[in-house]
Amino acid sequence: MSSVKIECIGSDRYRLGESPVWDEKENSLLYVDITGRKVCRWDAASGQVQAVSVDAPVSSVALRKSGDYVITLGTRFAALKWKEQLVTTIAQVDRDKAKNRFNDGKVDPAGRYFAGTMAEEIRPAVLEPRQGSLYTLCPDHSVVKHFDQVDISNGLDWSLDHKTFFYIDSLSYSVDAFDYDLQTGKIGNRRSIYKLEKEENIPDGMCIDTEGKLWVACYNGGRVIRLDPETGKRIQTVRLPTSRITSCCFGGKDYTEMYVTSAYDGLDEATLAKEPQAGEIFKVMGFEIFL
Ligand SMILES: O=C(O)[C@H](O)[C@@H](O)[C@H](O)[C@H](O)CO
Ligand SMILES: [Zn+2]
């Protein structure tokens, strides 16, 4: 039996909340609203949210040693100076695909920013297929392309021993693994480790816990699921009060809380009435693994 407790942080709702990242030094949660074109920062102590508006869909945010951030903005990797609200382009991808944008991204244990792209959605999860690619922004600002033919590049993370890279292309309904070489940043030997069940719907963002198990946000599935990458089995389900669950990360004191983002973009009036919490950011507490 699961005894988790779910709260929402603040009362703000986001069109397409994504990319939660815990900033330990600042005791804050960073996240984005992709279609709302905002990078947000929730201060855990005060409960206040600050936001920086940007001029294109912003799909992920990563912490920099300097204290500022790198973001994926449209088809660009860009630096964001928070106080100055200043955005400067670092690199651009998919120049031949005018309608593409970046989607989820995350930094590997050696400081490489992995992020993938996708075509513009006509409505959520409906788009021209195979237009996306997976890229890495290296610390020297060079960009590496790993592969193309991606539908919706989404959740990603690394195993605790850094030897495996986990990756989701949403419309494959699969969580995949690759061998990972931390020295070179190269990936290889792709295989599926879990196929989502019908009611779990579309796999979106993901994170890994201290036991090396994966947590996958289920878009249109109203839940996060915990997977054992060794056995390929689902070992826990945590239901959230809204259907469009987009991503998750651990954070808070000692990293015992999980922050979960959600979206309300594309929901019709009737669903919105039934799901008044669509688009909120949730905090999940009371995980058995930390008790
Ligand atoms: O949150 C994201 O990663 C995408 O930007 C969203 O658009 C949804 O995931 C997608 O619609 C369903 O897969
Ligand atoms: Zn996503």
Q: What is the CATH number of the domain that holds 230?
A: 2.120.10.30
**Mapped to the 3 state alphabet, what secondary structure does 66-117 carry?**
CCCEEEEECCEEEEEECCCCEEEEEEECCCCCCCCEEEEEEECCCCCEEEEE
pLDDT, tens digit, 9 for 90 and up, residues 189-223: 999 999 999 999 999 999 999 999 999 999 999 99
185's tokens: 């940043």
Residues belonging to the active site? 204
Residue with tokens 């390929």: 232
What integer pLDDT is reported at residue 1 of this predicted model? 58
Closest ligand 1 atom number to CA of residue 263? 1
Q: Provide the pLDDT for residue 291.
A: 80
Question: Phi/psi of residue 279, each to 5°?
Answer: 95, -5
Query: Look-up: residue for tokens 């599935």?
Result: 221
Q: Which atom from ligand 1 is nearest to the alpha carbon of 125?
A: 11
The Cα 271–Cα 202 span in angstroms is 18
Closest CA to 44 of 67, 10, 18: 10
Q: How far apart are the CA of 116 and the centre of ligand 2, in A?
A: 10
Three-state DSSP at 34 gives coil
Pocket of ligand 1 contains residue 204 by CB under 6 Å: yes
* 15 annotated to a ligand binding site: no
The predicted pLDDT at position 3 comes to 86
Chain Cα centroid distance, residue 210: 18
Question: Is residue 103 annotated as involved in ligand binding?
Answer: yes
How do residues 168-192 score in pLDDT, each as one tens digit? 999 999 999 999 999 999 999 999 9
Ligand 1 contact, 154 CB (< 6 A):
yes
- Among 16, 120, 218, 249, which is best to mutate for testing ligand 1, by the most ligand atoms less than 8 A from CB? 16
Contact predicate 130/152, CB 8 Å: no
Enumerate residue ranges in the chain where pLDDT < 50. Answer: none
Domain tally, the chain: 1
Q: Is the CB of 125 within 6 Å of ligand 1?
A: yes
Name the residue of 34, 61, 106, 154 to mutate for ligand 1: max ligand atoms within 8 A of Cβ.
154
The residue nearest atom 9 of ligand 1, judged by CA position, is: 204
Asked if 179 and 189 count as a contact pair (C-beta separation under 8 A), the reply is yes
> Model ipTM?
0.96
Tokens 């990972």: give the residue: 180
Closest Cα partner for 176 from 184, 188, 160, 186?
Answer: 188
Which residues form the domain of 158? 5-290
Q: Which of 164, 220, 214 is nearest to 191 (CA)?
A: 164
